[in-house]
Each structure stands twice: as C-alpha cells, then as structure tokens.
Amino acid sequence: MNGTINHIDSSFITSMRNESPVLSFIENVDRILNLTKSQYPQLQHTGMFSLSELTFQRFKYMVTVFAKFRSFTPILSLLASKEKKTRDIVISLLWNFSAEESLKIKMFDEGIFDYIFDNMDKLGEDQTLAISAIIQNLSEYRFERGHFQPILDFINEYHEDYQFPATFNWVTLQPHVPLLESKDVEVQSFVLYCINSFSSGSRYDRSLWKGLMENKGVLSLMNLTKSNNQFVSSLAMKISKSLGLGESSILVEDPEVEMKENIQNLYIQSLFTDFTIQCGSESFKIHKSICLARCPKLKDILKEQDKNIKIANDSEGMASEYLEVQDYALFEILREIFRFLYGFNPVMNDNTAKVIIRYASRLELEELKQYCEYYLWHYIDCDNAGEYLDIAIESGAQQLKKVASEFIIRNIGFIYNGNFAYYVPTNSPPTTSLNINNNNNNNSNNNNNNNNNNDINNGMNLENCKIESDEEGEDEPTSSNINNNNNNSNNIKKQTKWRGHWNDTTKVHVYENYRKFLEKQKKEIFQLNLEYQ
C-alpha cells in the first residue's frame, strides 16, 4: 500500500504550565516516545521499558492513543535495535496491540505486517511464537477483504516442511475456523495450512473438534475435500484423516450447492441458450429467463438496446437473439456480470472493478456491488483514494465510502498539499477554518482546552496559518517570500493541492468528515486526560 497513516511523531512540549503542573496522559506518552527516538541505545531501551510499563498499567488508554492519536513508527524502528532486550519489548508490545480490533487496520497500513514478514529471519528464533501471532492477527483483518500475495508465496514455499512451534495454542487459531466457509481459494489455502499445522499434534484433537463443531467447520472441511484446487483438497483430506473423519463420501450434499452447480453447468455447456452477446470473434451465450429472474433490472437494459438486438438461427437451426458489442472492454465487463448471475465469482482487476461496481449499482445487484467494494478496498492508496470515494458516492457503496473516507483522513497529510486544518472548499458556505486553536472558551475549562488543543496539534501536525484556497493554482506568498521576491511577485510557483483524482463532491465530503473528526478527537483527548487524572 502506497501511503502510511498520517499520525505524526510529536515533540514533547517543555514549556512550564504553572496552572497545570501535572502532565496529561498524552504528554506522558509523548515524552516516552521521544526517548525511543534517541540515538543512544540505553535511552531507547528506557523509553520502550517505560512504554511497556505504562501499557501494562493503562492498556485501554494506550490502545486509544495509538488507534487515534499517535503512530507506531518510532516503536517499529526499534525492531532494528542492536539491543536484544529492546527488540524483545517491541515484539511483546506489538503482539498485544495486534490482537486489538481497533488497531489491526492501522498496524497493517503503517507497514508493521510487511516489516515483520520481510524480516522474520533477522528477528531471532526465540521470537517465532510472537511473530507468528502478530502475522496471524493482522492477516485475519486482511484475509477478510482479499488475499495477500506474500502470505500465499510463503505457504507454497514452506507448507511441506515448516511447522508451527509446539506452544502454538487454540486461542490463536480459533478465529480462522469460520473462514473455512470462504469461497476464496487463497483464504481456504491459508486457513487449511494453519489448521493442518495445529492438528498434527494429537494433544489438540479434542480442542480442534470442539472448535470445528461450534463453527460448523466439519461440513465446511468435508466440502473442501472436493475442491477443484489440488492444494486445498489435499490439505482438507489430510486434516480429515488426522481427525479420523473417514472418507468424504459420508458428506451429505447441500441442495443449494447442487442447484448452483447445475445452473453453472447450463452456462458452461451453453445448454438451451436463447441469447448471445458477441464482440468480434468472441461470444458467450445466456438464458434470458435465468438472468432476468436473478436481475429484474436487466429488463430495462434490454429495452434500451432493443433496436440493436437481432435475431438469427444458431447452429442447430433454432432462432436466437444476439447483441453485438463493439467495445471489447465493455464486452469483458458484461461477461463477468452475467457469469455472476450464474453464481460464479467475477474475475476482475482494480480497473474493471471500478466499472462493474457502477453497473452493479444500476442493476441493483447488491451482492455484486459488495464484492467490488471489498475488492477495491484491497487496492486503496493515496493516489486513488479520491477516485474510490467518488465511485463509492456515485454507486451508493456505503462500506467503500466509509473505508475511503477513513483512509483519507488518516493520510490527509500525504493526499492534500497544504495544511488541511485551514482548508475550506470554494463552493461551501462561509465558515471558520478547522484550526481548533480558534475554539478556546473563556471559562473554567480553558486550561484543559489549551492542553487538549496542544495534544491534537502534536498528533495532527497543524501549523498556524490562514485559510487555504480550494483550487489548484497559486500558493499564498509568505512574508519572507515577499521580502525576498519584491521584484518577482508575479512569479509564484503553481502547485497541485490534491493528489489523484478529485471533484467538488468528494472535496466537500472530506472537508465535512474532517471537521467532525477533529471535534470528536478533541473531546476524546479531553476525556482521556480527565479519566487519567
């Protein structure tokens, strides 16, 4: 993923506050994080030790701090420390944090998964258990939304001789069992690989059976023994044999699965089709009745194309309708949509998914739209986040809109070239800037508000500047620029404000969400510091 989350490493404010001698919780965390950034190994260790102690005492607060206000970057950098005791503390902390649902996305986006996965050999065999747990915790998040190729390469390379440590326990494996129901071959491969490693120890048979039965995993496991993928079927059979499940012939067929396979065979074998879509020398045949039953809105599309639909006799002399498509890219899109109507998972890439999701919205194919949402989620980055948000708004894809919005806010410093805290869209009503320093109240809570504002500024790296314009174009000259360029005041360099594709709708959407984010963050920091005191 191209960008990292924009939670800036903050600097501890050393100025004395006579009216508030006690440091806030965020300030304590900042002071410790600054120690971890020291060039001296002993200070780094002191910082990590203090951070570990604070996490042990106030775990809930620390999860909130790293989930919303601070970055893992200073901690992650110490995995390369020469001091083993420092590395051990880092691994231990990351292990604990990786189990928290609110931190999984952030840890993945900040590159913790990639770093640990790429440096497994360098981190030491004594940390194998912790490293395996971190990888598994973070891969749970990713595999729910799409496969992750490095994991698959790892499985293919080591599945024959790699064994999990003897201390690998049921608690860390259990979340994977429900994923046996996944229709994604890559997910099936990974889950079966984990379960196979676990089932190889006889002392775990009873626990494994219990977990499989609770999650209806036995039926799923037996279904996978009949998979068309050789790797999946062989692993499923191996697990079944180790658990004494017997031959897969005892499996009771699911009527819905059988019906789905029969309908798919009608498409594959082109049996009794009555409509053909072709482009040049390529074509595919469908059954109008089946497709219209699955997608009633398709009738409107066919009406629009009525004048382009022709009738011809097929090879058996039967009259059949056909529609010729000139654009091959559109032909490929239509083929995947119709394959979906027959029960196949669509084959797509990030470009075709952006088109299919629009068709799915128009045809009211919610399941297909959600499939595209999860697929695009896997590819979101700082360059395409604005485009994905636009697609989500246009298509009514609420989950993709939520994910894209949150990603943009986390990475706003990489996406917007300027201080977004002072940004106002040109087509929005007059309003104050987002600078939370303008919101101080002259009341008894004024000191607390000042502390909160400093905490937010540290976390979001805000600067004191005026409201920024919305349009791409000339940057406002600073006083130093005016002094240095009196003779060249008209030669101000033009810069692009937004990274990637953006329009007025998406800009306003991000602006409104960012305002809500800052207000919510301000209240959360105030409450966090209040509870800590």
Which 3-state string (H, E, C) describes 309-343? EEEEECCCCCEEEEEECCCHHHHHHHHHHHHHHCC
The CATH number covering residue 337 comes to 3.30.710.10
Residues 64 and 188 in one domain: no
| Mean pLDDT score, 469-477 | 44
Q: Which amino acid does the sequence have at 484?
A: N
Q: How far apart are CA 404 and CA 388, in angstroms?
A: 7
Residues 16 and 92 in one domain: yes
Three-state DSSP at 140 gives helix
Does residue 150 lie in a domain region? no
- pLDDT confidence tier of residue 345, bands split at 50, 70 and 90: confident
Residues 39 and 140 in one domain: yes
Q: Would you list the DSSP string of 58-74?
A: SHHHHHHHHHHT--SHH
Residues 189 and 282 in one domain: no
End position of a domain, from candidates 343, 371, 394:
343
Q: Which amino acid does the sequence have at 113?
A: F
Does residue 466 lie in a domain region? yes
Residues 265 and 332 in one domain: yes
Residues 11 and 110 in one domain: yes
End position of a domain, from candidates 298, 325, 343:
343
Residues 248 and 292 in one domain: no
Question: For residue 278, what are the β-bridge partners?
Answer: 283, 324
Among 151-155, 357-361, 490-494, which is the least confidently predicted range?
A: 490-494
Q: Is the dihedral of CA 54, 57, 58, 59 positive or negative?
A: positive
- The pLDDT value recorded for residue 481 is 43
Does residue 20 lie in a domain region? yes
The parent domain of residue 300 ranges over: 255-343
Does residue 113 lie in a domain region? yes
End position of a domain, from candidates 220, 252, 284:
252
- pLDDT confidence tier of residue 385, bands split at 50, 70 and 90: very high
- pLDDT confidence tier of residue 445, bands split at 50, 70 and 90: very low
Tell me the pLDDT tens digit for each residue of 125-167: 677 777 777 877 777 655 444 444 455 555 555 444 444 444 4
- The pLDDT value recorded for residue 419 is 81
| Mean pLDDT score, 42-66 | 87
Composition of the chain by helix, strand, coil, percent to 5: 65, 5, 30
The CATH number covering residue 45 comes to 1.25.10
Does residue 44 lie in a domain region? yes
Does residue 393 lie in a domain region? no
Residues 133 and 167 in one domain: no
Does residue 374 lie in a domain region? no
- pLDDT confidence tier of residue 384, bands split at 50, 70 and 90: very high
Residues 114 and 178 in one domain: no
pLDDT at residue 120 tops 80: no
Q: How far apart are CA 224 and CA 190, in angstroms?
A: 13
Total domains, the chain? 4
How many helices and strands, by DSSP H and E, does the chain display? 26, 6
Q: How far apart are CA 284 and CA 293, in angstroms?
A: 19
- pLDDT confidence tier of residue 457, bands split at 50, 70 and 90: very low
Residues 336 and 293 in one domain: yes
| Mean pLDDT score, 317-330 | 84
Cβ(90)–Cβ(79) below 8 Å = yes
Residues 37 and 94 in one domain: yes
- pLDDT confidence tier of residue 433, bands split at 50, 70 and 90: very low
Q: How far apart are CA 68 and CA 287, in angstroms?
A: 52
The CATH number covering residue 190 comes to 1.25.10.10
Q: Please give the helix or strand (H or E) that residue 275 lies within, else none.
A: strand 275-279
Does residue 59 lie in a domain region? yes
253 versus 93: the higher-pLDDT residue is 93
| Mean pLDDT score, 183-206 | 73
- The pLDDT value recorded for residue 156 is 54
- The pLDDT value recorded for residue 254 is 61
- The pLDDT value recorded for residue 336 is 93
Q: How far apart are CA 341 and CA 335, in angstroms?
A: 10
- The pLDDT value recorded for residue 242 is 76
Cβ(468)–Cβ(475) below 8 Å = no
Residues 5 and 105 in one domain: yes
